[in-house]
Chains A and B, each alone.
Chain A
Amino acid sequence: MTTTLDAPAPAAPQPRHRATSRLTWLLKQRETGIAVAFIALLVVTTAVNPNFLFSTDGWRDLTLTPAILVCLAIGQAMVIVTRNVDLSVGSTLGLTAYLSGRLFLDTGLPVLVVVLIAVAAGALLGLVNGVLVAFAKVPALVITLGTLYIYRGIMLEWAGSDRINASDIPPGLLDFGTGSFLFIPNLAWISFALLAVAIYLMRSTRVGREFYAIGSDPDAATLYGLRDKRRVLQAFATSGALAGLAGILYVSRYGTISSGVGQGIELEAVGAAVVGGVAIFGGSGTVLGAALGAYLLTTINRALPVLGIPDFWQQAVVGALIIGAIVLDRYFARRQHDKLLAEREDS
């Protein structure tokens, strides 16, 4: 990286070759770093045990397992970019999963309708967060911590000691959840599609750019005339809707819904976003990074036992990774800052 940076003579900056500058740009991207780490992990693990990648089950698990977390990480990244955080996604996932299970059990609604209801319910729960955050001017951390308890409590009250079993779920949905298309599991396709839409939304639309504007400086965004309340509502509603979708994806993949569904996954989603380079105080980072972060975290969990590390250590590795990611971010940000200062003094 340093060699490419030093290549042009500093005295007379010549127009760099386009391909080289593209490469430099690509190398500097945070997403590239995570992708490289992910691929390195894959290569090493597969070298130890080829089944990790090349067996049918290995390939399926690799692509299928992260799908649900990717959904949540996309929503979480959007919310964090606006300088908020959504801790309630795990409870939203649990509540919508149970809701859809109940709908299958008690009504004969077609699967597609139930999916739509689950997504809408998630969006509604997210909207409640958004309204409280945007209008009460209370930090999202507190509000969503409150709704984390409320949504989970509602689910537990409602479910009691009931469990929903795979036999209660329409076989069509279960087949969909475990099936695949063109060697890639259906759920992975869904997460790819969502990711593509989210990347477009955040890069190239007004909504997305305003998310970044609000996150990097809320006061400036308000002064500039952005409708910040509406945007915060949209971010939370999207995060909720994605959590609702994740709920139904969970049902389609696992079939059984117990009271602990989705417990603690909110911190994994935040962790994935942070590892993926989404700054916790808003304004920078991408959904692609967050999704890659989700892939990395999930795959590390599965790779450790293969590498001979007891899977009890998974969490420790994930924690070390999160800390490493933010320390590294800080280091690069500071170096960039120093470099800019030095350039200003030179000129």
Chain B
Amino acid sequence: MSALLSEKAPARTYAAHAKPWWQRTLMTRDAAIVALLVVVWTYASIAILNFSDPITVYFLVLDITPILLIALPMTLIIITGEIDLSVASVVGLSSVLFGVLHREGVPMVAAMVLALLACAVAGAFNGVLVTRYGLPSLAVTIGTMALFRGIAVGALGTTAITDWPDSWGDAVQARIGDTQIPLMTIPLVALIVVFAVILHFTPFGRGIFAAGLSKDAARFSGVNVDRTKLILFTLSGLVSGLAGIYFTLRYGSARGDNATGLELQVIAAVLLGGVSIFGGRGAIPGVIAGVVLIGTIGSALRLDGLSANLIQIITGVLLIAAVIAASVLGWTGRIVGTYRRQLSSDEPSSKNSKKSE
């Protein structure tokens, strides 16, 4: 009792703001991935012939666009603690719907809008199953992954629709003026900014983090968790649909099996970018760096004459290293923390315990 009385009222500390700002900015997973990207990029520019050629950047941007697009809503979904494995199948669905509507003589813009609407509905279907019925998103989206892909393949069989007007394909691959920067960069950057603002600077975005950290706490602080998740799944369907239309126009072919396996690439890139699979942690810049990093390594390997298969091994190793690094850092951090506490005094430590999934 006496100890309690003699003790000064402890100053309130906030874990997130305990360290100086430069440590908070630079000592993060995001910063580590950005740094790794810079290192790889610099090395590749110096050591690999033709890597610094603007045309490399041009193709790099065009190649990573679908992954980058889908990674945006995927980041938000994973931060809420859910996952969406059906995205690549929605890409296929969008591609097929767009193609079939085009073949039936629907004007391009109308076909595009209809395909996007259908994909938003597909995303909302995931969302309803997850939020209304409380089903695990992992199981739901494994199911819808097969379902949507099945509908796409079923509608078109093994045929492909390839008679696209040249002007649209050219528009997708156009460059800005005389530079080698694809015109696609402008809408892409705009979308990235929109997502970054939503996630990091709006109440809705705070709700996304809150939902991922603790569903109950979020609900009691006035976040409509179910509505948030439903919106995100719908958004995921919509953006995947957009990626499907891009895919179709870029390669001039609408097929049911377009972008098979893309979901795992997207998730790998997102997790590499520092988003926690447990939810509640992550940031858009890190994710962008993760996507670009994988794309850069891939294109560097190809230019170096190495087989593109190596990229699979590297992606896997990076992914595992990234997640293990977090747990190894946490481990050493705890050891250092215990050591420090023992040095100062035996004051009780409040352990930050987060309910594990």
Q: List 27 A-B contacts (CB under 8 A).
A: A85-B138, A132-B324, A139-B277, A142-B277, A143-B323, A149-B312, A153-B313, A154-B313, A156-B312, A264-B260, A271-B146, A274-B142, A274-B143, A281-B136, A310-B157, A312-B150, A314-B150, A315-B149, A316-B149, A316-B150, A316-B153, A316-B154, A317-B150, A326-B139, A326-B140, A326-B143, A330-B133
The verdict on A190 contacting chain B, using a C-beta distance below 8 Å, is: no
Q: Are B129 and A274 in contact (CB under 8 A)?
A: no
Residue interface mask A303-321, B partner, CB < 8 A = 1: 0000000101111111111
Chain B interface: which size bin? Answer: 35 or more
Say whether, besides A281-B136, A314-B150, A153 and B312 are in contact (CB < 8 Å): yes
Give chain A residues whose Cβ lies under 8 Å from the Cβ of B107.
none
The residues in B between 79 and 100 inclusive whose CB is less than 8 angstroms from any CB of A are 83
Q: Which of A218, A219, A323 has the most CB of B within 10 A?
A: A323
A132, A141, A312, A320: which has the most chain B beta carbons within 10 Å? A312
Which residues of B, 296-322, contact A by the 8 Å Cβ criterion?
A: 307, 309-317, 319-320
Residues in B neighbouring A148, C-beta threshold 8 A: 264, 316
Interface of A is mostly: helix
Task: Kindly state the interface size class of chain A when it binds its partner.
Answer: 35 or more
Residues of B within 8 A of A169 (CB): none
* Residues B269-291 near A (CB distance < 8 A): 271, 277-278
Cβ of A253 within 8 Å of any chain B Cβ, yes or no, is no
Are A271's CB and B327's CB within 8 A?
no
Chain A to chain B: the 10 pairs with minimum beta-carbon distance, closest first = A316-B150, A319-B147, A315-B150, A319-B146, A153-B312, A149-B316, A322-B143, A153-B313, A150-B316, A156-B309
Asked if A150 and B312 sit within 8 Å, CB to CB, the answer is yes
User: Closest CB-CB distance, A237 to chain B, in whole Å?
Assistant: 18
Which residue of the partner chain A has the closest CB to B85? A267
- Write the residues of chain B forming the contact surface with A, with a CB cutoff of 8 angstroms: 83, 129, 133-136, 138-140, 142-151, 153-154, 156-158, 256, 260-261, 264, 267-268, 271, 277-278, 307, 309-317, 319-320, 323-324, 326-328, 356-357
Known: A153-B316, A319-B149. 5 other contacts (CB 8 A): A142-B320, A146-B323, A219-B356, A312-B154, A327-B129
B265, closest chain A residue (CB)? A149
Residues of A near B312 (CB, < 8 A) are: 149-150, 152-153, 156
**CA–CA, A263 and B260, complex, Å:** 11
Q: Which residues of B contact A197 (CB under 8 A)?
A: none
Across the interface, do A316 and B157 meet the contact criterion of CB distance under 8 Å? no
Q: Indicate if the CB atoms of B154 and A313 lie closer than 8 Å.
A: yes
The reply on A19 being an interface residue by CB < 8 A is no
CB contacts (< 8 Å) of A36 on chain B: these are: none
Task: Collect the chain A residues with CB atoms within 8 Å of residue B134's CB.
Answer: 330
Interface string of A272-288 (1 = CB under 8 A from B): 00100000110000000
Query: Are B277 and A310 within 8 A (Cβ)?
Result: no
A150's closest neighbor in chain B, by CB? B316
Q: List the interface of chain A (C-beta within 8 A of B).
A: 85, 132, 136-139, 141-143, 145-154, 156-157, 160, 218-219, 263-264, 267, 270-271, 274, 280-281, 310, 312-323, 326-327, 330
Residue from B153, B261, B320 in contact with A132 in the complex, judged by beta carbons closer than 8 Å: B320
Instruction: Give the complex CA separation of A154 and B136 in angstroms.
Output: 32
A218→B355 CA distance, assembly (Å): 12
Residues in B with CB closer than 8 Å to A321 are 143
Q: How far apart sit A160 and B324, CA to CA, in the bound complex (Å)?
A: 30
* Chain B residues positioned under 8 Å from A312 (CB to CB): 150, 153-154, 156-158, 256
- A136 / chain B contacts, CB cutoff of 8 Å: 323-324, 327-328
Contact B310 A142 (CB under 8 A): no
CA distance A136 to B328 in the complex (A): 7
Task: Chain B residues near A151: list those with CB within 8 A.
Answer: 316
Closest Cβ–Cβ distance, residue A206 to chain B (whole Å): 25
- Which chain A positions have C-beta within 8 A of B146? 267, 271, 315-316, 318-319, 322
- The answer to whether B315 touches A323 (Cβ under 8 A) is no
Inter-subunit contact B307/A322 (CB<8 Å): no
Closest to A218 in B: B356
Within the assembled complex, what's the spacing in Å between the Cα atoms of A218 and B83?
22
CB distance from B29 to the nearest CB of A (A): 13
Known contacts A141-B277, A316-B147, A327-B129: A280-B319 contact under CB 8 Å = no
Q: What residues of B have a CB within 8 angstroms of the CB of A317 in the complex?
A: 150
Taking CB as reference atom, which chain B residue is nearest A129? Answer: B320
Give the residues in chain A near B140, CB-CB below 8 Å: 323, 326
Given contact pairs A270-B142, A319-B150, A322-B143, A330 touches B135 in the complex (Cβ within 8 A): yes
